[in-house]
């Protein structure tokens, strides 16, 4: 009794699915899905050679410091970095005094309570503070930015596919909308207030091109601040903010693999030794 | 347990004798995973995965308990405490990545363990209870993994919770009240996050309990083996310790090497970038996908695109998805071929390798892809085969198939493999004989 019932259930599901497949195939052939503008004009991130690429790559501290400078002078006006503390900058080569100075001179102040009056006030950040947010809340952020909230950048390179290359490609990818696109998709003209960028998933984003000209930032280490260089540096810096323990992870991994390779070799030898007289 | 020739525990050290007389714990361990458990001598590497699944559960419990010391299940801070673990907790990154990738490895070894059972007929008499308890473990694992994925409170956590609890919303009349009851609200929020954390902490210990039953049920008939023929005598078995503890030790090393490669060098490879964006009820991700180990079932869910009279397609998809797992509970009675091992079943073998395996792989691929053509059509074909395989083809094969001749015993099969005439070892002793030293 059980088996015929189960066979009947199986036949029902199978026929239902085959019917759905047939109907889907007919409509797929009779009305092929229309090509979308995103499908045709969205580009995968560019190839970039970062020092941390590959399984054993390391961060380039000089590059991280340059990237931090780009964040400080360009990005931080709109984008928060809420999971990173000033003290973390010691990991990219600043000493304690420098970190203290960076925190103290930060343009945005840390919200606090006035110890004398108990009223809301602000104070200079200290190394233990997280980077202060440029806007008090999302409403203020949206109001100041044409209704688009600038996302937090702490995890940006892990929150996108191929994040480091994505950030670099997006920052260097601003361009006028191709004539070919407008010819093929006349309705897809970039709306006013948005900017065309083929590396952005829906091709139009609210952020205006942030890195516009060579020399926008003056590097102290003598590197030529081209737009391409600045984009690479900020992408590297944001890779560090998203994965600050990357180097610890890789060196621990190497040690773990060496240990496990030896241990597994010994385990294999023990296994062969114990079984040597037993046909199996 | 199991066989009359199983060694009995005899304590050697006085302290063990003292303990054994008062609490026979050493006796239990000796009989369960020690020299007191005779195991077929011809097990291949596919028999490593049960032990590895146990190790994976231990990794999850230990890393999870440490994470629980630093995590806070509150929608306002959950995402932030996860980042706190990654940045400020000593080796927090290692523990969290081990836990996230440990879940994937748990599923990898359990899927291989299930594969082994399916191919070698380990679900058949007299091991039906082992199979059924294993499926209970599998269901508990799925519930635990789903709830664990919600805890970091990223975008995929939030929207995954919404979609999966929404499946219950497809049930007519009572569906929406059930969904609200499960979530403790109309959408995932603090109530849902807190109960998921509570249950995510509880279920692994339930799993550990069912594993004890699973192993207990296994020890009654003893392990199956690649030939599928019953153990006939002492010459067919070796004691679990040291033979299989040594082999499992090697398997464990290989497992840990692969685990370390992922954990230390590509820890986010199996994850989804959207889960590094904090949960936002106002912004729906472009493609909501569950973790990879749910993809085959997710593909079955989405394969139903047509209403069946008054039954909406969504409800059909939900029923089919649950049915795709529940039907495995009937497997011992669907496949009533007397031959266990797929190696001696020519017809079964063809449908297994050229039907079931590609179909499950296609379902897995389509489940992770966006719900567009051609993925939907592919998953419809593969789902159709999946149901047909278990519910129609397997019972039919058992009826039509002419199995290959089985070896008379495990020892005979082993000797035939080695082209040996007799079963003496280098000391001229037969297995099972105790060397006179």
* Within a domain: A114: yes
pLDDT of residue B435 exceeding 50: no
pLDDT (tens digit per residue) in A248-269? 999 999 999 999 999 999 999 9
Task: Tell if the CB–CB gap between B420 and A19 is shorter than 8 Å.
Answer: no
CA distance A215 to chain B (A): 32
* Within a domain: A50: no
* Within a domain: A142: yes
One domain for residues A80 and A161: yes
pLDDT (tens digit per residue) in B1-30? 568 888 899 999 999 999 999 999 999 999
Mean pLDDT, chain A, whole residue set: 94
pLDDT (tens digit per residue) in B244-292? 999 999 999 999 999 999 999 999 999 999 999 999 999 999 899 999 9
The H or E element that residue B31 is part of is: helix B25-33
The CATH number of whichever domain residue A66 belongs to comes to 1.10.760.10
Of A24, A201, A278, the CB nearest to B41: A278
One domain for residues A106 and A166: no
Residues in chain A: 280
Q: How far apart (Å, rounded) are the C-alpha atoms in residues A62 and B427?
A: 67
Q: How far apart (Å, rounded) are the C-alpha atoms in residues A191 and A206?
A: 10
pTM: 0.94
To the question of whether residue A75 is assigned a binding role by annotation, the answer is yes
Enter the tokens of residue A117. Answer: 């009056």
Which homologous superfamily is B37-416 in? Cytochrome Bc1 Complex; Chain C (1.20.810.10)
**In B, which residues are within 8 Å of A33 by CB distance?**
372-373
Confidence of residue B430 (pLDDT cuts 50, 70, 90): low
pLDDT at B234: 92
Mean pLDDT across the stretch B121-140?
97
- B392 to chain A: nearest residue by CA? A7
**B interface test, pick of A21, A30, A276 with most B CB neighbours within 10 Å:** A21
For the question of residue B389 being annotated catalytic, the response is no
pLDDT (tens digit per residue) in B144-180? 999 999 999 999 999 999 999 999 988 888 999 999 9
Cis peptide before B37 (omega within 30 of 0): no
pLDDT of residue A247 exceeding 70: yes
pLDDT at B437: 41
Parts of chain B belonging to CATH 1.20.810.10: 37-416
Mean pLDDT across the stretch B41-60?
97
A270 lies within 8 A of chain B by CB: yes
**In A, which residues are within 8 Å of B377 by CB distance?**
21, 24-25, 28
pLDDT (tens digit per residue) in B373-406? 889 999 999 999 999 999 999 999 999 999 999 9
Confidence of residue B331 (pLDDT cuts 50, 70, 90): very high
For the question of residue B291 being annotated catalytic, the response is yes
Mean pLDDT, chain B, whole residue set: 93
Q: How far apart (Å, rounded) are the C-alpha atoms in residues A167 and A239?
A: 9
pLDDT at B424: 61
Question: In this predicted structure, which of A91-95, A113-117, A170-174, B348-352 has the lowest mean pLDDT?
Answer: A113-117
* Within a domain: A21: no
pLDDT of residue A226 exceeding 70: yes
Mean pLDDT across the stretch A113-123?
92
Give the residue numbers spanning the domain of A255.
249-273
Task: Tell if the CB–CB gap between A253 and B257 is shorter than 8 Å.
Answer: no
Question: In this predicted structure, which of B144-158, B299-313, B331-345 has the lowest mean pLDDT?
Answer: B299-313
pLDDT of residue B432 exceeding 90: no
A49 to each of A235, B108, B385, how far by Cα in Å?
A: 11, 33, 45
> How many separate domains does chain A show?
3
Mean pLDDT across the stretch A63-76?
96
Residues 6+ apart with CB under 8 A from B227: B42, B341, B343, B344, B406, B407, B410, B413
pLDDT of residue B65 exceeding 60: yes
One domain for residues A75 and A197: yes
Closest CA to A229 of A21, A76, A60: A60
Percent pLDDT > 90 in chain A is 86
A253 lies within 8 A of chain B by CB: yes
To the question of whether residue A58 is assigned a binding role by annotation, the answer is no
Cis peptide before A240 (omega within 30 of 0): no
Place of tokens 């792989």: B361
- Asked if residue A57 lies in contact with residue A97, where contact means CB atoms within 8 angstroms, the answer is no
Place of tokens 């100041």: A144
CA distance B2 to chain A (A): 21
pLDDT of residue A63 exceeding 80: yes
Confidence of residue B305 (pLDDT cuts 50, 70, 90): confident
pLDDT of residue B429 exceeding 80: no
Cα B357 to chain center, whole Å?
Answer: 16
Residue ranges of A 161-220 with Cβ closer than 8 A to chain B:
161, 163, 201
pLDDT of residue B436 exceeding 50: no
**Which DSSP string corresponds to A118-179?**
--EEEE---TTSBPPPSSSSHHHHHHHTTTPPPPP-TTGGGSSTTHHHHHHHHHH---PPPH
- Asked if residue A92 lies in contact with residue A240, where contact means CB atoms within 8 angstroms, the answer is yes
Residue A54: count other Cβ atoms within 10 Å of its Cβ: 11
Enter the tokens of residue B261. Answer: 């490669």
Enter the tokens of residue B348. Answer: 């079964």
CA distance B343 to chain A (A): 17
3-state secondary structure of A204: strand
* Within a domain: A12: no
* Within a domain: A208: yes
To the question of whether residue B99 is assigned a binding role by annotation, the answer is yes
One domain for residues A188 and A229: yes
**In B, which residues are within 8 Å of A267 by CB distance?**
246, 249-250, 252-253
One domain for residues A63 and A168: yes
pLDDT of residue B425 exceeding 60: no
B233 to each of B38, B244, B412, B433, how far by Cα in Å?
A: 10, 18, 12, 12
For the question of residue B232 being annotated catalytic, the response is no
Q: Which long-range contacts (CB under 8 A, 24 or more apart) does B195-198 make?
A: B196/B73, B196/B147, B196/B150, B196/B151, B196/B161, B197/B71, B197/B73, B197/B147, B197/B151, B198/B73
Calculate the CA dihedral of residues A144, A145, A148, A151 and round it to 10 degrees.
-90
């Amino acid at each position: 009794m059980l088996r015929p019932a189960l066979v009947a259930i199986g036949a029902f599901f199978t026929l239902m699915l085959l019917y759905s497949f047939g109907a889907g195939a007919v409509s797929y052939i009779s009305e092929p899905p229309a090509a979308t503008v995103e499908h045709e004009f969205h580009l995968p991130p560019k190839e970039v050679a970062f020092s941390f690429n590959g399984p054993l790559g390391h961060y380039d501290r000089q590059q991280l410091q340059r990237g931090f400078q780009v964040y400080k002078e360009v990005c931080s006006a709109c984008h928060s970095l809420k999971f990173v503390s000033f003290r973390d900058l010691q990991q990219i080569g600043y000493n304690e005094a420098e970190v203290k100075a960076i925190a103290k001179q930060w343009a945005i102040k840390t919200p606090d309570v006035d110890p004398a009056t108990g009223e809301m006030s602000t104070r200079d950040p200290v190394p233990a503070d997280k980077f202060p947010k440029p806007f008090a809340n999302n409403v203020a952020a949206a109001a100041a930015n044409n209704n688009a909230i600038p996302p937090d950048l702490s995890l940006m390179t892990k929150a996108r596919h191929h994040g480091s290359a994505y950030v670099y490609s997006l920052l260097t990818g601003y361009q006028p909308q191709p004539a070919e696109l407008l010819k093929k998709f006349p309705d897809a003209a970039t709306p006013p207030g948005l900017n065309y960028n083929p590396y952005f998933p829906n091709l139009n984003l609210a952020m205006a091109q942030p890195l516009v000209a060579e020399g926008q930032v003056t590097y102290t280490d003598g590197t030529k601040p081209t737009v391409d260089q600045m984009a690479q540096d900020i992408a590297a810096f944001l890779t560090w903010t998203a994965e600050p323990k990357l180097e610890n992870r890789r060196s621990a991994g190497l040690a773990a693999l060496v240990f496990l390779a030896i241990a597994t070799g010994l385990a294999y030898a023990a296994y062969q030794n114990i079984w040597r007289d037993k046909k199996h | 347990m199991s066989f009359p020739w199983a060694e009995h525990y005899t304590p050697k050290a006085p302290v063990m004798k003292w303990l054994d007389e008062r609490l026979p714990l050493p006796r239990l361990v000796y009989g369960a995973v020690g020299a007191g458990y005779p195991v077929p001598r011809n097990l291949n590497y596919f028999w490593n995965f049960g032990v590895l699944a146990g190790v994976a559960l231990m990794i999850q419990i230990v890393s999870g308990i440490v994470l629980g010391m630093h995590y806070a299940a509150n929608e306002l801070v959950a995402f932030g405490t996860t980042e706190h673990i990654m940045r400020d907790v000593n080796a927090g990154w290692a523990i969290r990545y081990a836990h996230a990738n440990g879940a994937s490895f748990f599923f990898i070894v359990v899927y291989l363990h299930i594969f082994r059972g399916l191919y070698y007929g380990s679900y058949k008499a007299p091991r039906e209870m082992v199979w059924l308890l294993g499926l209970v473990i599998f269901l508990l694992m799925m519930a635990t993994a789903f709830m664990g994925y919600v805890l970091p409170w990223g975008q995929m956590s939030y929207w995954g919770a919404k979609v999966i609890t929404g499946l219950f919303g497809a049930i007519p009349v009572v569906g929406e009240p059930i969904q609200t009851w499960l979530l403790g609200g109309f959408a995932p929020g603090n109530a849902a996050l807190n109960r998921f954390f509570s249950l995510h902490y509880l279920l692994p210990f339930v799993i550990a309990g069912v594993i004890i039953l699973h192993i207990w049920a296994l020890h009654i008939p003893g392990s199956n083996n690649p030939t599928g023929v019953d153990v006939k005598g002492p010459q067919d078995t070796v004691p679990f310790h040291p033979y299989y503890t040594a082999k499992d030790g090697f398997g464990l090393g290989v497992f840990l090497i692969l685990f370390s490669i992922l954990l230390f060098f590509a820890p986010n490879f199996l994850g989804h970038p959207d889960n590094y964006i904090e949960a936002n009820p106002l912004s729906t991700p472009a493609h909501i996908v569950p973790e990879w180990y749910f993809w085959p079932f997710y593909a079955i869910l989405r394969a139903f695109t047509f209403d069946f009279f008054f039954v909406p397609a969504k409800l059909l998809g939900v029923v089919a998805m649950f049915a795709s797992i529940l039907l495995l509970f009937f497997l011992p009675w669907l496949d009533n071929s007397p031959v266990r091992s797929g190696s001696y079943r020519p017809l079964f073998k063809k449908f297994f390798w050229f039907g079931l395996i590609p179909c499950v792989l296609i379902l897995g691929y389509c489940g992770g892809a966006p719900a567009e053509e051609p993925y939907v059509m592919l998953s419809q074909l593969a789902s159709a085969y999946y149901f047909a395989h278990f519910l129609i083809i397997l019972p039919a094969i058992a009826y039509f198939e002419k199995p290959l001749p089985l070896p008379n015993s495990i020892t005979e099969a082993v000797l035939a493999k080695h082209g040996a005439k007799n079963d003496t070892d280098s000391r001229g002793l037969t297995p099972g004989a105790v060397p006179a030293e």
